[in-house]
Chains A and B, each alone.
Chain A
């Protein structure tokens, strides 16, 4: 980077030291003004006679509406059921491919006419149909939604075609190290509970017939226990009436099936999963988390931020900004039926895998041994309050949050009171939570990487056993 760029300019180039210094010297940081309250709309709620719960909120800003339907859709089996997972995956892939009155292209054309998008997905706990459209197009989106919920035909040829595509997509997904790590982690912490069956195998997909998909549709796409959230530039009462007119006739023979609580995470050795040829390793540690109704929840949230929940955390500053072992390191909570699990995730180069694990254990231990300082807690507190403001500042984010909260019996009031709860947590409560929930002895997990390269040092470090192969 010499004079080739622009000779006359480069001639005046300063040294790095000259660049980093001015005559004025360091300047003081400006103070903060007063933070506004989180502006949250009122939420209108109604439950239709068929059991469908509807939540609607007026949130203008852009002339759009978000539509989010979630139906509990767990398997009836007590253990992970690959055929069910495969069947549900084919079901969602063919849900928008035909009804008695619309075909695949007709459905898409009708949505596009109102700037609409609709997508259907499934996981071990929920079947989800989500979309958005120009607000004036809400009736059209609801028309299409009602038609596919009550009348999707899952045509034979579409099932055959989507089965093939699904097998190809599964192959691509399983080539991603993050997918390998996720599957290994779910198995490690939840064993054979249905929650660990997130993605079907190609073999189980191949065995799914169109008839089986239609049976599953009748069995799982039911209104009793489902909730539909509408957020946008809409009148909530009119929107709810619009839903009632279209989805009031949707019926099911039984309530939607909720996922049972998975077993609690048991502490233990990490499992090393061999992925030949990997140049990076995925570290995925996990421990029991804290549910929202636990009195220690808010303190735990701040402790998590201090550990690895945001960039200015102990763990990130150590393994990225000091050591350069990783591009990112994150700890976060995932809610599961009956509780929550804490996840501690980073991807690191093969040659520093053991070193990164050592630093991770060190930082976990430090949470117990060296309590978060006042400065650390105040930073986490301000971030938690401010980022709440930012994270709810869109229709889609608000719709998603309302849906998740409602499924555990919490409403918009809980969100409104969150800043106050965050303000009220004391330093010593955060210290207690740090000690109780981040102690390294509570964790288990997986390491995915090239075991031939990372294995020897990990074994020397201890607490790692070699089991499977990706």
Chain B
């Protein structure tokens, strides 16, 4: 490989002005935490509620319930008939959504600043008194089943790797089970399950409200007064004790194959455990940087080795975090390397090459320039994401809920840029030193057994 014609000055991330965003915090008397981050440069405002329950907390026999319940929260509340929530958000010029993660569930809307109070009202009404009915439950079980058919059952590589890899890497139900849920268990969900889930996990003290963007004439104090007006009279309820999901790191390799009737080519996922982001934050972030050094860009280690030099795989990707991004879950979380490869390539050849590259990184580390380039890419990717009120709000809220520090979202580019080569080397060595999960997706020609597991 030849050098570029002229040496290019690598942008130093610390030279790029960090996002100037003031964070204001409060806690209402019922325990609801509030985070306000005004941004006068945008005409839109975002309101989100992060609830401290994800699919790891759903009980055995009720896989997929946290996600199903997320759907139910859109189905009406004391002041809002079914469909009214959607209609009011959209008729205010806004967009909405919700999502269920390992450790939290978020609900949000982004609207013109003029609709701020309306958005607070809509979120408060369902956090206070959602209307849970059998009819809506049955309807949303059907909708969720269609969502799963769309994203998993009826397409190639459905649930790869986020559903398929955890049961290989983990032993305990919270970490190993399918967060989308089995159809049979979704069908068994009852209204009593829903009531109990709400009362247990949706206590105001178990949630965080985030307001970000155009707060117009209200100012921070005005927003806080509106929050108090709409959320203040939700009665306090006991906050559930959060269980530990810790389990031992596997000491050896575990391997499993699954057939995929729609897949034309084999695929593989390698899963490793990562350091706890709250007790070893820099070591955790070194794993995020390691993922970039391995697969982000044509110059990344595994792109050069697996795709171009050895021609073993069609595409390869690495990520620190099961759901795709860093700092989105508490411990334990997963580092993944995924690849799609031709049928005539033995998976062990891919694994061998990955091990080689990790060994090389563990022994020599990445170069300083290599790290600087990846830092600059991270910084610009994070800036680009922050250019949308929705993403910035959700990033702030998730980090505040999970780690008590929304600032992590703002500091991320600088903290990644401060990592030294030896920290990346250590991360690579750590992956090589521990057990791992290897999932092999094998094209199956038999189409008879691909109906969902109902």
Contact = CB atoms under 8 A, between A and B. Distances in A.
A460 interface: no
A62 interface: yes
B140 interface: yes
Interface in A235-254: none
A102 B5 contact: yes
B83 A279 contact: no
Interface stretch (B100-108, B114-122, B428-436): B114-122
A105 B86 contact: no
B287 to A, nearest CB: 20
Nearest to B446: A277
Given A38-B43, A175-B156, A389 B387 contact: no
Interface stretch (A7-15, A218-226, A283-291, A335-343): A7-15
B283 interface: no
Given A62-B383, A161-B311, A325-B142, A117 B377 contact: yes
A198 interface: no
A358 interface: no
A5 B200 contact: yes
Given A320-B143, A379-B91, A109 B117 contact: no
Given A12-B238, A26-B79, A321-B83, A168 B132 contact: no
Contacts of B198: 19
A405 interface: no
A16 interface: yes
Interface stretch (A120-128, A131-139, A206-214, A430-438): A131-139
Interface stretch (A28-36, A84-92, A255-263): A28-36
B2 A106 contact: yes
Given A33-B113, A349-B149, A394-B387, A9 B308 contact: no
Nearest to B113: A36
A61 to B, nearest CB: 5
B30 interface: no
Interface in B1-34: 1-5, 8-11, 16-17, 19
Contacts of B389: 390, 393
A28 B379 CA distance: 44
Contact of A19 (B145, B157, B195, B387): B195
B82 interface: yes
Contact of B140 (A13, A324, A379): A324
A9 B200 contact: yes
A47 to B, nearest CB: 29
Given A30-B121, A113-B10, A176-B155, A15 B451 contact: no
Interface stretch (A188-196, A360-368, A380-388): A380-388
Interface string A324-360: 1111100000000000000000011100000000000
B133 interface: yes
Given A61-B42, A276-B447, A393-B42, 17 more contacts: A6-B241, A20-B130, A22-B78, A29-B118, A33-B216, A109-B4, A110-B4, A113-B9, A134-B380, A137-B11, A172-B263, A279-B149, A349-B146, A379-B87, A382-B92, A393-B43, A395-B387
19 contacts: A1-B59, A1-B197, A9-B240, A18-B195, A19-B199, A30-B118, A36-B112, A61-B41, A109-B299, A114-B8, A115-B378, A117-B380, A140-B8, A280-B146, A280-B153, A311-B90, A311-B96, A389-B93, A393-B43
